[in-house]
Amino acid sequence: MKVLIPSALRSYTQGSSAEAQGATLAELLADLDRRYEGIRFRMVDEQDHIRRHIRIFVNGTQVRDLAQPLSGKDEVVIVQALSGG
């Protein structure tokens, strides 16, 4: 399925989108990491939680659960929150 990649992570994918497979969000992120080593760690912490500055949307709805089921027709958008003062 198509995954839209934020600009901060494009150094891994060399593009604004990538293809990945998985029946759940966790499997999709693991597949992305197999294809683009190290990208998952930038999105998921050591406790297997989505990092605070990352937002993941499936078909336009924000999801926080890595067990979120996915289908092959879903569109996944990864967004990195901006911060600063």
CA separation for the pair 85, 58 (Å, rounded): 30
Would residue 8 count as lying in a domain?
A: yes
Whether the CA torsion 19, 21, 24, 27 is positive or negative: it is negative
Q: Return mean pLDDT, the chain.
A: 94
Would residue 11 count as lying in a domain?
A: yes
Would residue 85 count as lying in a domain?
A: no
Would residue 34 count as lying in a domain?
A: yes
40: CATH: 3.10.20.30
Give residues with Cβ within 8 angstroms of 46, minimum separation 6. Answer: none
Would residue 54 count as lying in a domain?
A: yes
- Note the pLDDT tens digit of each residue in 23-38: 999 999 999 999 999 9
**Predicted TM-score (pTM) above 0.85:** yes
Task: Say how many domains are in the chain.
Answer: 1
Pairing of strands 54-58, 76-80: antiparallel
- Note the pLDDT tens digit of each residue in 51-81: 999 999 999 999 999 999 999 899 999 999 8
Would residue 26 count as lying in a domain?
A: yes
Domain containing 20 equals 2-80
Interval 12-18 mean pLDDT: 96
